[in-house]
Structure 1
Amino acid sequence: MATVGQRGMSSPRELTRMGDRISFIYLERCILHREDNAITAEDAEGVTHIAAATIGTLLLGPGTRVTHQAMSLLGDSGAGVVWVGEQGVRFYSGGRSLNRSSSLVEAQATRWANRRTRLDVAREMYRMRFPNENPDGLTRHELLGREGRRVKECYRREAERVGLPWNGRIYVPGDFNAGDPVNQAVTAAAQCMYGIAQTTVTALGCAPGLGFIHSGHELAFVLDIADLYKTGVAIPIAFDVAAQDPEDVGSRTRRAIRDHVNKTRLLRRCVDDIKHLILLDEAKSDVMEDDTDRVTLQSDHGIEVESGRNHADDDFDEVSW
């Protein structure tokens, strides 16, 4: 077996195409090491071998330890690594993204930079959350008003469903115990959604600060994505947990969200939703499949030229401004 220092980095052609990889692999309470070109995960039940080239993004949950050799192999294989809470409901740190191409983040920036397309994405986010309504033609202010009313209706509906009193949303930043048990459960569920959204945004290499509804925060886009699952996932689970028992609702809500994420493959859905929002339909199949190191230089009028060479002697046409 070659040592880490002797083994050269794989070329893009040698790497497994992203479409043929497992998008997310979640591990917890184990030690990660390397054996040949496989990652080994050792826990109380034994050792599991995972071919490094088949990993899209490795999610390291609580209780994981990873060796330098394992991280070197993951980097050489083009795999991403994200340190998360249980089943990805917390985001702690992240490495490289799933993509070698910048197409996805460029598409996000392009749609964000234009006011019209930014509003188009905001309307599509509303449509995804409330599919029975048509937000076409609505202004941003009207979208915010409608969203607020729909969320209030969701709170009231869920309270009636589980038989709990509801006196409105109460949340004091930094003081989890300020609200009643059901408000604490809603807060815990929302925090889990933020973790899931940030894990996915980071894994895809998107810009977390370029939001289409939220703005002015380093995680604006993360907040946008997390809100897609507020009324359909977070709030119903929070009310279910609070109705079962008012004690320890925070940790029980996180476990309930964790189980739901694992059962419904919410991370995979989150990936598809992000691509749906920021990619043109005809480009969707190309962006995540581009595993080549394609680096160009930007010239005038949107023209890209070859990198890795000196262009001093090129016969560029003079441009009058």
Structure 2
Amino acid sequence: MADRIIIKATLADLPKIRDRYPFIYLEHGRLEIDDSSVKWISADREVFRLPAALISTILLGPGTSVTHEAIKVLATINTTVCWVGEDSLNFYAVGQSPTANSYNLKKQVAMASDPELSLSVARKMFLRRFTDVDVSSKSLSELMALEGKRVQKCYANLATKYFVAWGGRSYKPGEFALSDLTNKIITAGNAALYALVSSIVHALGLSPRIGFVHSGSPLPLVYDIADLYKEELVFDMAFSLTVKMADEYNRYTALDEFKNRVIDMKLLDKCPADIISLLELKS
């Protein structure tokens, strides 16, 4: 069984979690109010008060319930609440206070609204993947053309490396079962990565709907950021597991491998830092 991507909050771990991540993760328990403070009661009957005013975002995983009063108090102190799957590998919903600090969101909107600043951010994103290419004068369409060629070359190289027959990327929404094994793993890995990035984006007070490369989709910023890690985290995993799975897709094997890679590359440290650097946000 794979290690956990996100540490389940306990009384002993809480300070470490708060120092390390822009959010805390809770599962199998109840979030409620006791004497005007936010209290977490775990399934193991461990009870502790959360320093909610110091926490940016609370991720509620499987087996959790939350009282109306707890949500009301969290809203007054501008703590974001997200409802996610285990280890945030699914992202369901987010609740944000209308009075939450909007500095990062304003900065994101200002940069995305200015054509020069938006292109500058896009170039910095591509520079993370094209370290040997001068992108300083490239337009967005030129950058996207380079990216398309890079991804195709990546697929071809991985197919050769792992001796996998590859007919190209192919996926239609709602028709997962019709894809070949490699495409199934890529699709599942992408979905898990998007969920993790969504949690981080919301924890930083940003909008997933305002991107710099992608547009016209539900989660442009999430797709922008996820693209920074796909080659190492998703594509290589998909081709390597194609051989190990022997033509039979196993969801749990794929998710365990994904978790291990997220942990190995320290994504939950790296991703928030990358977003802060790319958008020049306050840390």
- With the shorter chain as reference, the TM-score category is 0.7 to 0.9
2: distance between equivalents of 1:96 and 1:263? 31
Q: Is the 8 A contact 1:21 1:53 kept in 2?
A: no
Structure 1 residue runs without a partner (length 5+): 1-18, 289-321
Using the alignment, how far apart are the partners of 1:187 and 1:29 within structure 2? 28
Gaps of 5+ in 2: 1-17
Residues 158 and 236 in structure 1, CA contact (< 8 A), matched pair in contact too: yes
Change (3 A) 1:59 1:21: same
Task: Return the offset for 1:146.
Answer: 1.2
1:25 matched residue in structure 2: 24
**SS at 2:56 equivalent:** strand
What secondary structure is seen at the aligned counterpart in 2 of 1:185?
A: helix
Match of 2:156 in 1: 156
The TM-score normalised by the length of structure 1 is 0.73
- Cα separation, 2, equivalents of 1:28 and 1:123: 39
AA paired with 1:252? Answer: T
Match of 1:181 in 2: 181
Q: Distance in 2 between matches of 1:24 and 1:152?
A: 35
Residue-by-residue CA offset, 1:60-87 (whole Å, 9 max, x unaligned): 1122222234333433443221111221
Greater Rg, structure 1 or structure 2?
1
Question: C-alpha deviations, 1:31-70, integer Å up to 9, x for none?
Answer: 3334443422312x33142433342211111222222343
- 2: CA distance between counterparts of 1:243 and 1:29? 36
Secondary structure of residue in 1 paired with 2:189: helix
Q: After TM superposition, give the deviation of residue 217 of structure 1 in Å.
A: 2.6
Give the aligned residue type for 2:255: R
CA spacing shift, 1:249–1:161, aligned 2, 3 Å: farther
Alpha-carbon contact 1:212-1:221 (below 8 Å) kept: yes
Query: Quick one: which amino acid aligns to residue 208 of structure 1?
Result: P
Match of 1:201, SS? helix
Local SS of the residue matching 1:257: helix
Q: Hey, what's the Cα distance between the residues in 1 that align with 2:213 and 2:258?
A: 24
Matched, 1:261 2:262: yes
Contact 1:112 1:212 in 2 (8 A): yes
Partner of 2:101: 101
Q: TM-score, normalised by structure 2?
A: 0.82
Percent pairwise identity: 35
1:249 aligns with 2:250: yes
CA RMSD of aligned residues (A): 2.5
Matches within 5 A, 1:141-220: 141-220=141-220
CA–CA distance in 2 between the matches of 1:253 and 1:261? Answer: 12
